[in-house]
Amino acid sequence: MERDAAVGHCLSLPGAYLDNPWGPEQTVAKVSGKIFAFLGGDDPLQIAVKNHPEMVDEWRTRYPNHVGPGPYLANATWNYVRASGAGAPDDDEIRELIEDSYALVVASLPKSKRP
């Protein structure tokens, strides 16, 4: 998946918007002020997303050369995904990861802040 497609998918989710809290090279997707995807800077796409704790290891096992812990993120709940190259997750799986991350973040919001 290309970066622009991932950004577009993030923005298609209710209440989602982009932010650059650490400068123009570090784009994140947020909902109600909470990050649900770290989108990096350029192609090839490298994205960090939140996962259910039981799914973190499953993704890392399925894609050992493309999915792993990310710097500065909780290893038990976030995965860093390199979305290009042989054996990388396909576009549908990247969309699934983004949607799951979004859903986890929205579920953690107070009801008054949910889109």
**CA 15, CA 53: separation in Å to the nearest integer?**
25
Read off the amino acid at residue 115: P
Q: What is the CATH number of the domain that holds 22?
A: 3.90.1150.30
Average pLDDT over residues 56-74: 93
**Does this model's pTM top 0.85?**
yes
**CA 16, CA 85: separation in Å to the nearest integer?**
28
Give yes or no for residue 23 having a pLDDT over 90: no
- Total number of domains in the chain: 1
Please report, for residues 17, 38, 41, 106, the alpha-carbon distance to residue 23 in angstroms, rounded to integers and kept in the order given: 16, 13, 10, 25
Residue 22: per-residue pLDDT: 87
Average pLDDT over residues 78-98: 94
Question: Residue 23 is part of which domain span?
Answer: 3-113
The closest alpha carbon to 38, from 75, 1, 8, 10, belongs to 10
